[in-house]
Chains A and B, each alone.
Chain A
């Protein structure tokens, strides 16, 4: 089955700086890669996603890049703000295989004012 590794596990940045989280996946057939933001005790919130036929996607301060050959994808948050502090999860899915999401281990991001 799919295995998703996520690094770093914790990330502390100064407000206004950029944050980068990296994930690798094992199943070359995975074709959809969502990123979630989760606050304590709440449901994961989809913040951005990318399909395997796209190399990069951007939405305001958030961007995701995908390298299918290397099987890794990254989340980039620019101009970080204190409200960006949360736990972020990457995930991978093979849409032809029942849509089971496999999550990375999570990154706890702390943005210091």
Chain B
């Protein structure tokens, strides 16, 4: 099956620094990737849609200057949390859509393993 790899799985950073999380589709091409944030015991909340070769589309309330998204190739999207603060500590997870798979064939969306971010 389709594989999405996300790195790092865990990261601890100091308050005020930036941290980058990578999301890679290993065996398919993804023109669209999605970034979610999940706080403990809560649901997955979509932060932004990452579009290959163009600007990301951010959900309401998500600061685009704080959560920088780059989707420079068909297999890689990165999320950079800039000037991180303790309240940014969360589980960040990406998903990617297989652009070559028809929706009528079933599932086309695959999740990465997630990244635990702790800001101290």
What is the interface of chain A, defined by CB distance below 8 A to chain B? 32, 34, 41-44, 46, 49, 51, 89, 93, 95, 98-106, 108
Contact call A43/B34, Cβ cutoff below 8 A: no
| Set B34, B112, B113, B114: member contacting A101, Cβ < 8 A | B34
Give A106 Cβ to nearest chain B Cβ, in Å.
5
Contact call B116/A100, Cβ cutoff below 8 A: no
A contact face: mostly helix, strand, loop, or mixed: loop
In the complex with contacts A100-B34, A105-B43, A106-B42, A44-B103 CB distance below 8 A: no
Q: How far is the CA of A16 from the CA of B58 in the complex (A)?
A: 44
Interface size on B, residues (CB 8 A): 25
In the complex with contacts A42-B113, A43-B93, A43-B111, A102-B46 CB distance below 8 A: yes
Contact call A106/B43, Cβ cutoff below 8 A: yes
The closest CB in chain A to the CB of B1 belongs to A46
26 A-B residue contacts at CB 8 Å? A32-B103, A41-B91, A41-B116, A42-B113, A42-B114, A43-B93, A43-B111, A43-B112, A43-B114, A44-B93, A44-B111, A49-B107, A51-B104, A89-B43, A89-B44, A95-B103, A98-B57, A99-B32, A99-B108, A99-B109, A100-B46, A101-B34, A103-B45, A104-B43, A106-B42, A108-B41
Q: How far is the CA of A44 from the CA of B57 in the complex (A)?
A: 23
Q: How far is the CA of A95 from the CA of B95 in the complex (A)?
A: 15
